[in-house]
Amino acid sequence: MEKPLLGESSGGRDIRFRRRDQPTSNFPRRSDAITHGSPFQKAAALVDLAEDGIGIPEEILDQENFESVAKFYFIFIQFDIIWTLNYFAMIVLNFLEKPLWCQNNSGHSCNDREFFYLGELPYLTAAESFVFEGITLIILVAHIFFPISYEGFRIYWKNPLTWSKVICLCILVIDLVAYAIYASPVNFNFLPFRIAPYIRVVLFILYIRL
């Protein structure tokens, strides 16, 4: 009897495959098996991915350049912890940035917690807030547009969820630019509110629903 395609000790991670032209061939990663293995090895790795709840978009499997684009997909999912932490950081920013309505209140300071009932979390300074928001925005851009590298423009843009995330990203950029102009010495001293805190929540919901 032939050895199973997936080793019993793999636990879904360390995959051992048997090729027909070789007695034994081991792939330490599923990405290697999918991009460089035989059809049987690819099938076993894809089944292993499905069992773990991780999947490659179905349309990619039909592409002629599947082996070359699959490696970008695995690079993308290797940064899952970065993407997740960034979305949590965006939510945390909602609690750390000084509210615009509070900044415009000349009668009381935002540090007057008894008047505003704003909790006990310390507020970031304007410079710290810009840096924090800028970093999260850069990572967000990478997360939203990275799938183009393995999906291609046609598959990428036909997904309604993609359009939703791109639209939210554009709103965030416009909101940040408007706030930067408002905070600068330029004669622009009217900004009724910032929509960014609400868009961050929407993006977080779109992310966790995947």
The C-alpha atoms of residue 154 and residue 203 are separated, in whole angstroms, by 23
Phi, psi of 63 (to 5 degrees): -75, 145
Cite the DSSP H helix spans in the chain: 30-36, 39-51, 58-61, 66-78, 80-96, 100-103, 113-116, 126-145, 148-157, 160-183, 196-208
Contacts of 71 (CB under 8 A, 6+ apart): 31, 35
Instruction: List the chain pLDDT tens, one digit each, 210 residues.
Output: 444 444 443 444 444 434 434 433 566 665 566 656 666 666 656 655 555 445 566 666 666 777 777 788 888 888 999 999 999 999 999 988 877 777 655 555 666 666 665 566 777 888 899 999 999 999 999 999 999 988 888 888 988 999 999 999 999 999 999 888 887 776 566 777 889 999 999 999 999 875
What's residue 57's pLDDT?
Answer: 63
201's enclosing H/E stretch is helix 196-208
Per the structure block, which two tokens stand in for 53? 């709840």
The C-alpha atoms of residue 208 and residue 93 are separated, in whole angstroms, by 18
The C-alpha atoms of residue 63 and residue 201 are separated, in whole angstroms, by 35
The C-alpha atoms of residue 169 and residue 203 are separated, in whole angstroms, by 8
What's residue 43's pLDDT?
Answer: 62
The C-alpha atoms of residue 72 and residue 81 are separated, in whole angstroms, by 16
What's residue 29's pLDDT?
Answer: 60
What's residue 49's pLDDT?
Answer: 57
